[in-house]
Chains A and B, each alone.
Chain A
Amino acid sequence: MISQNERLSRPRAVTGPRAGGHRTRWGRLGAKRARTGMILVSPAFALVAVFVLFPLGFAVYISLTDWPLIGPYRFIGGRNYSELIHDPGFVHSVLFTLLYTAIVTGPILVVGYAMAVLVRANRRGSAFFRTAFFLPFIVGLATESFMLLLELQPDSGAVNYVLSRLGLAHPGTAWTVNYGLALTAICVFVIWFASGLTMMLLMAGMQGIPRELYESADVDGATWWQKERRITLPLLRRNIALALIISVIGSFLAFNQFYILTEGGPGTSTQPVVMWIYEEAFVQYHLGYATAGAIALVIVVGVISAVQFYLLRDERQVRR
């Protein structure tokens, strides 16, 4: 005879064909699965906690103090953040970063897409072309920035040499010390650098589209552009979203090319946000204030990414 207590303490309904772990969340099998899952995930979670969550938490704490590079610090609450909004240097760097992002994002996507269209079929030479287009991205932004710095020099640089031969520029044009010229040069440079990555991301997606869709469109007499617009683009939505988000985040966090080519100059006209943060921390020695700027940047990038994810979400996944 099962006593009242024993009956209550036994797990519910585990007999019969419809019973099973999914009936109640903490049914016997479900509980075991959940426990196993947690154990398997815990090393990764520990790593994330130690190397991501804890530093992030500590950084938030630092941003609430006036932590200097050298010397004692005090907790000052949200004062850094209120100062940040009124800091012309910070605001200018944010606006400049937004401008830069707005300029390069479109071309990177378009050029990358065009190259992906070119090399997506496995034809003769496509492996070579793919490598060629991707190589600038692999060599790296910092290295190439130094190369470009040399070539942008007036009189001795290759850029002026070529452009003056074409009659497009004066041989002594000083690119790196003029706001408009420097921004133009850097934007062209970054498009050249980053479109290879976009190409790879989109190409992978394009190759995943079943060929039958194109073949049946051919039977219906569709033009190349119609195929592209009606078949490729919609099915590529997620890949485009990913490429865009990576590109935008990268542009928001741009630093290397500006630090190397213009040092943020002339003055601070080409200083992006990350460079503002760097200067505030390691030149002005205001670590607390700089960290507040960094946290603000994290929030902005997070919001923009979330917005992008929402706008570019797959329509099929939208629940009614």
Chain B
Amino acid sequence: MSLSNYVVEVNGIFGRWIKKTLRRPQFLFFSLVQPIVWFVLFTQAFQSIANIRQAIPGTNPIQYITFESLTGTSSYIQFFTAAVIIQTVISSAMQSGIGMVTDLESGYMDKMRVAPIHRSAILMGKVLSDGVRIVIQTAVIMALGFALGVPIATGVAGLLFLFAIALTFGVAWSGISTFIGLATKNSEATLMISILTTFPLLFLSTAMMPKALLPSWVQTVATYNPMSYIADALHGLIISGFDWGVLGVAALTILAVGAVSLSATTSLFRRTVSV
């Protein structure tokens, strides 16, 4: 089997997933409706956080902790943009595992397994399509942000970094849902476990609230929560500017999550599809 065959196979499977994604109403929901709901509802409900003003004891003249001093912006919506990106990316990643389970349930996986294609092409084509979907969804959110007046501190170069983070983190995270999908072989269980692990992690991170304003136990969780480091990097790019230290930590986090999730998924996938 040659490389050109492999390219044809991956391309075929990639195209299949792109078509499936675009034809399903839930894609529109996750890509458009949900970010709008998040942007509008959350920022309305929580906008008073940006007015926080807390005296620092023992300072003379009295100094205050403000939302701006903690985050670098007085606009909650600018801060919240990173949360919408992360939320959308992980929702999208969750769908990845469900797609795999649907193929197992419908018998389409067997159709592919009985064909003379490279087993890895099945996974590769899917991962590539997940990546493209995540890039499109991130673009939609950024456009929405612009429309709502969210500036990007780092400009076009920063946007490229932002897309790179969303893409790589999304692919790494999709490995988790695919793993759950292959392990349970049940779409309902996959969705449930994905939601139950994903949303708490999002709330227990620095994505929606600066760390200093979180209760102390949540701060502890947030310190060990990989999503915090992704959120910090995105906050930086959107609000303040390039901070290579923060971006480096985010890159390492993605590498670590990706290495674990994708290697576990690949080995489970091999066991699932091989005879």
Asked whether A and B interact, the reply is no
Q: Residues of A at under 8 Å CB distance from B?
A: none
